[in-house]
């Protein structure tokens, strides 16, 4: 397991962590100021300042992208809706490619309409079928341009509105169904389809260690950290800073690295009432300190 | 699958559903008024009116108990704490026996102190060990008095503070480890140790159908219903009335009954902002109507 205590070279900042800090250019400047080497930006933040400006800043600051957030949201009520989702995912792949991201993260979606608070269906099985088909179609294009897709299993409390893929096991079943691995051992390259492991979503899973091992080096495309607060006051926006909650992050990172993962540890914190209200320099200084001590 | 449309003979009311209605005697009177044949009371509600009075009311109203809530909360920081939990579970078994409950439901607990908002440990593995040992010790006593124990896997959003058992698969692994089944086929009797299946906690699980089938008739000790609201505004107390959310309850009930379950369908709704504010007659009339149409 890598020693993170001496520096923060393996720290990446998911730019959602700094949603309180203003536009993306300001966020990227702050990251550069703190010696951050990698980020993972959200599409809406990129769109707000423009892809051209974003790409220029990424280049001038010498930033790597540990991921690009996000594709997915495949399920829909009809063919037109499914087509719209596929088109949007194709654009997401293109954007990820323009920024030379390690992978495009997929939050796969679930019951159509649920994210807007008005579910039009309660058929989780139909949603799972749409997700399978949507990933398969997107993967074909993603392979053609060389952009790995990382399925992110979300916590089961998001099963209705954000993702009907809720465990690493389930994500790996999807990977194996859509993109079977060759029988020969991996050459160490990233697979075109794999998983994003976010400790917030999967820390509770009794099968976690085994499924991380099963994923292996080629299917582990991203590793996200934050913490589970006790109590958690909001289902979406009350994530904690690493060390402030109950997740044994080093234990999980140990498993991920034992399986061969050697990429960035990406901090992704949604926190309307706490971290998004603090100055970006305080947030980043805290991310760095915690990265070195409790991740 | 049983037809529930013609009557509500298989409806049970978990008395937490009527927490807004006052003391347990008032709740039981209301249940009797609505022709409810079964209930599942909580220990604090029983204690508040006294066991003797409760037992007399249960008898005079001719009520069956589909379960008794609850034992569990096994993990602790030291031997004294573990002993306290075991003593308390022994009392819970005795109370369940006095009321002739079908089973004692176990909410197993997790990180010590977390339920009070102050976790004293983040070692989920230690918590799981305490849970294993606590169930094993309690089962020995429960068997001696003939009271089945039903492990209730809770939704993973309660993994820190309420239960470190979060899937039916995990609960069944515990059952098999603590109380292995004989190789011969079941005689149809309830096992001394099994699971309580609450749709709220497990509806998202991609392995749900297979694990319900694996549980089989003898391990399926209780079936609880309510609904998952979109959006869900509170992690604990925003459960929905059946039909108001996105859980495909009949599909899950179909699986449970295909596995041999033939007991009550127990309504358990925690809802501080909605159902607990309504008159008990409205709540019960709605439970009955929904039981007949959407369960």
Q: Where do the domains of chain B lie, and which CATH numbers do they carry?
A: 11-293 (3.20.20.150)
A258 Cβ neighbours under 8 A, 6+ residues apart: A1, A213
Percent of chain B with pLDDT over 70: 98
| Burial class, B188, CB count within 10 angstroms (exposed 0-12 / middle 13-18 / buried 19+) | exposed
| The pairing of beta strand A265-267 with beta strand A220-225 | parallel
Q: Dihedral (C-alpha) B127, B129, B131, B133: value to the nearest 10 degrees?
A: -150
Q: Report the C-alpha gap between B80 and A160 in whole angstroms.
A: 42
Mean pLDDT of B275-290: 98
Least confident of A85-99, A268-282, B114-128, B176-190: B176-190
pTM: 0.97
When CB atoms are compared, the residue of B128, B155, B231 closest to A156 is B155
DSSP string, B71-121: EE----SSHHHHHHHHHHHHHHHHHHHHTTBS-EEEE-B-STTGGGT--S-
Q: Report the C-alpha gap between B295 and B292 in whole angstroms.
A: 7
B279 to chain A, closest Cα gap in Å = 27
The sign of the torsion formed by the CA atoms of B146, B152, B153, B158 equals negative
Report which of B228, B282, B223 is spatially closest to residue B2, judged by C-alpha positions.
B223
B111 touches chain A (CB under 8 A): yes
Helix crossing, A24-33 with A280-293: angle to 10°? 50
B159–A247 CB contact, under 8 Å: no
| Set of chain A residues whose Cβ sits within 8 Å of the Cβ of B173 | 206
B56 touches chain A (CB under 8 A): no
Segment 64-83 of chain A within 8 Å of chain B by CB = none
When CB atoms are compared, the residue of B119, B157, B206 closest to A246 is B119
Q: List the single residue in B with minimal CA-CA distance to A110.
A: B204
Q: What's the pLDDT score for residue A190?
A: 87
Backbone angles phi, psi at B196, to 5 degrees: -105, 120
**Residues B206-264 pLDDT 10s:** 999 999 999 999 999 999 999 999 999 999 999 999 999 999 999 999 999 999 999 99
Report which of A186, A39, A171, A15 is spatially closest to residue A100, judged by C-alpha positions.
A39
Residue B14 has pLDDT above 90, yes or no: yes
* b/e map B114-132, b = 16+ CB within 10 Å: bbeeebebbbbebbbebbb
Residue B181 has pLDDT above 90, yes or no: no
Give the SS3 label for residue B187.
coil
Segment 259-288 of chain B within 8 Å of chain A by CB = none
Mean pLDDT of B66-83: 98
A contact test, residue of B230, B235, B238, B243 with most A CBs within 10 A: B230
ipTM of the complex: 0.97
A65 Cβ neighbours under 8 A, 6+ residues apart: A38, A39, A40, A41, A58, A96, A99, A100, A101, A102
Q: Report the C-alpha gap between B116 and A234 in whole angstroms.
A: 17
Taking each continuous run of H as one helix and of E as one strand, the counts in chain A are 10, 9
Mean pLDDT of B94-123: 98
Contact B91, B83 (CB under 8 A): no
Q: What's the pLDDT score for residue B172?
A: 98
B206–A167 CB contact, under 8 Å: yes
Backbone angles phi, psi at A195, to 5 degrees: -125, 150
Longest CA span, chain A = 53
Residue B190 binned pLDDT confidence (cut-offs 50, 70, 90)? confident
Residue B168 binned pLDDT confidence (cut-offs 50, 70, 90)? very high
pLDDT in tens, chain A (295 residues): 999 999 999 999 999 999 999 999 999 999 999 999 999 999 999 999 999 999 999 999 999 999 999 999 999 999 999 999 999 999 999 999 999 999 999 999 999 999 999 999 999 999 999 999 999 999 999 999 999 999 999 999 999 999 999 999 999 999 999 999 875 555 668 899 999 999 999 999 999 999 999 999 999 999 999 999 999 999 999 999 999 999 999 999 999 999 999 999 999 999 999 999 999 999 999 999 999 999 9
B145 touches chain A (CB under 8 A): no
Q: What's the pLDDT score for residue B33?
A: 97
Residue B187 binned pLDDT confidence (cut-offs 50, 70, 90)? low
Beta-carbon contacts below 8 Å between A and B: 94
A206–B128 CB contact, under 8 Å: yes
Q: What's the pLDDT score for residue B230?
A: 98
Report which of B127, B165, B160 is spatially closest to residue B149, judged by C-alpha positions.
B165
Q: Report the C-alpha gap between A270 and A276 in whole angstroms.
A: 8
Q: What is the average pLDDT value for chain B, to the nearest integer?
A: 97
Segment 115-144 of chain B within 8 Å of chain A by CB = 117-119, 122-124, 128
Q: List the single residue in B with minimal CA-CA distance to A164.
A: B204
Distances (CA, A) of A117 to A11, A111, B245: 35, 10, 11
Q: Report the C-alpha gap between A139 and A86 in whole angstroms.
A: 10
């Amino acid at each position: 397991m890598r020693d993170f205590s001496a520096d923060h070279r393996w720290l990446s900042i998911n730019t959602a962590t700094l949603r309180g800090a203003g536009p993306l250019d300001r966020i990227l400047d702050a990251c550069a100021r703190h010696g951050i080497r990698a980020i993972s930006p959200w599409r809406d933040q990129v769109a707000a300042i423009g892809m051209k400006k974003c790409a220029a800043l990424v280049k001038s600051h010498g930033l790597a992208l540990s991921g690009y957030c996000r594709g997915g949201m495949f399920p829909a009520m009809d063919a037109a809706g499914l087509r719209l989702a596929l088109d949007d995912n194709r654009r997401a792949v293109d954007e990820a490619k323009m920024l030379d991201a390690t992978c495009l993260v997929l939050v796969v979606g679930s019951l159509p309409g649920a994210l807007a608070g008005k579910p039009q269906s309660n058929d989780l099985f139909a949603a799972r079928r749409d997700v399978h088909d949507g990933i398969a179609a997107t993967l074909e294009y993603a392979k053609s341009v060389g952009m790995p897709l990382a399925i992110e299993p979300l916590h089961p409390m998001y099963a209705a509105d954000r993702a009907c893929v809720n465990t690493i096991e389930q994500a790996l079943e999807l990977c194996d169904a859509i993109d079977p691995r060759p029988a020969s051992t991996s050459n160490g390259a990233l697979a075109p389809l794999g998983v994003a492991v976010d400790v917030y979503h999967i820390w509770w899973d009794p099968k976690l260690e085994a499924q991380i091992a099963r994923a292996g080096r080629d299917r582990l495309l991203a590793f996200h950290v934050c913490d589970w607060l006790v109590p958690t006051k909001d289902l979406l926006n009350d994530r904690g800073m690493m060390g402030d909650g109950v997740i044994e992050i080093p234990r999980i990172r140990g498993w991920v690295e034992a399986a061969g993962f050697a990429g960035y540890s990406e901090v992704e914190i949604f926190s309307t009432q706490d971290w998004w209200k603090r100055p970006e320099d305080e947030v980043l200084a805290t991310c760095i300190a915690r990265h070195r001590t409790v991740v």
